[in-house]
Amino acid sequence: MSSRRKLLDLFETFLIDCDGVLWRGDKAIEGASRAVQVLQAHNKQVIFVSNNCTKTVDMFQHKFKTILNIDNIPSENIFMPAVSTAIYLKNKMNINTEKVFLIAQDAFKTTLEEHGIPSFGLGPVGIKQVHEWGDFEVDKSVKYVIVTYDPYYCHTKLTEAYLYIKENKAEFIAPDCDNFFAVSSTRKVPGSLSMQAGLSAVLEEKPRIMGKPDPLFFELIQKEHGEMNLSKTIMIGDNYNTDIKFGFNCGISTALVLTGNTKPEDIASFGGKQPDFVLGGLGDINDDLENKFHV
């Protein structure tokens, strides 16, 4: 590859992660806003793909406007596991006879409702002691169990989810499988995976993943946006285990940015396949591809 070419020249479709690429918390990452505007000016197809399950599309659009000063991001160009889960369920379930047990936050429930999918299970619950479960009546109409980050997660919710899956053969869905959430530049805390792992262990089965790095996420994006030219599509993100592996799994190019979860010293520890490009930040998309940016 010529070192004088730009990512802007090489690709037509840009799948871009949000947290750690565009912003950290409520602060814009330097160069991110300009990079998005450059992509728009060159008529690139830009789809923002986040594993964040705590926000609605409207909340994302608000962040684009208030943090990046960009107010023209169409809702269909923001894709996250709540949206992919809603699309998946809408095409599969019978909302008149089947129910969804949801372990998540308000935003996830709102997104499901916007797509016509009702659910229950949100919020704090009364704690059940172990001996009380013998008399628990399992609702046979519960056919889907969704587990993502829930601040009210507890043994009671885990047990109820377990019984629906075990006795009803309900489908176990994990919208995202993030092992950590970065809460500051120096600290990360256990993510959704910590809440799914216990259930997965006792069931001895893995959930269906609706976000990155599962290729089903990409299939659902393509159903909404049309087939993409894989050789002209790139995934840009800050997390090797979700963003970069997502690109690998989908057969598209990858660019790792160093403004979020991954630090330069982490790259050597990846082992196996490496990202196609390593960028200091999203703003580098319009720079010449010098050797320091290409793995």
Amino acid letter for position 80: M
Which residues, including other chains, have CB under 8 Å from residue 285's CB and lie 6 or more apart? 6, 7, 8, 14, 35, 38, 39, 236, 255, 279
Burial of 58: CB neighbours in 10 Å, binned 0-12, 13-18, 19+: middle
**pLDDT value at residue 293:** 52
**pLDDT value at residue 62:** 97
Domains, the chain, ranges and CATH?
7-80+213-293 (3.40.50.1000), 82-209 (3.40.50.1000)
Residue 220 has pLDDT above 50, yes or no: yes
Segment 106-121 shows an average pLDDT of 97
Burial of 129: CB neighbours in 10 Å, binned 0-12, 13-18, 19+: exposed
pLDDT tens across 124-146, in order? 999 999 999 999 999 999 999 99
Residue 273 has pLDDT above 90, yes or no: no
**pLDDT value at residue 3:** 38
Q: What is the mean pLDDT of the chain?
A: 92
pLDDT tens across 227-239, in order? 999 999 999 999 9
Residue 254 has pLDDT above 70, yes or no: yes
Segment 88-108 shows an average pLDDT of 96
**pLDDT value at residue 144:** 98
**pLDDT value at residue 256:** 94
**pLDDT value at residue 288:** 66
Hey, is 218 helix, strand or coil? helix
C-alpha neighbours within 13 Å on the C-beta side of residue 146: 30
**pLDDT value at residue 1:** 33
**pLDDT value at residue 143:** 98
**pLDDT value at residue 4:** 47
Where residue 51 falls among pLDDT bands split at 50, 70, 90? Answer: very high
Pairing of strands 180-182, 188-190: antiparallel
**pLDDT value at residue 183:** 76
Query: Is the Cα dihedral 101, 104, 105, 107 positive or negative?
Result: negative
Single pTM value for the model = 0.88
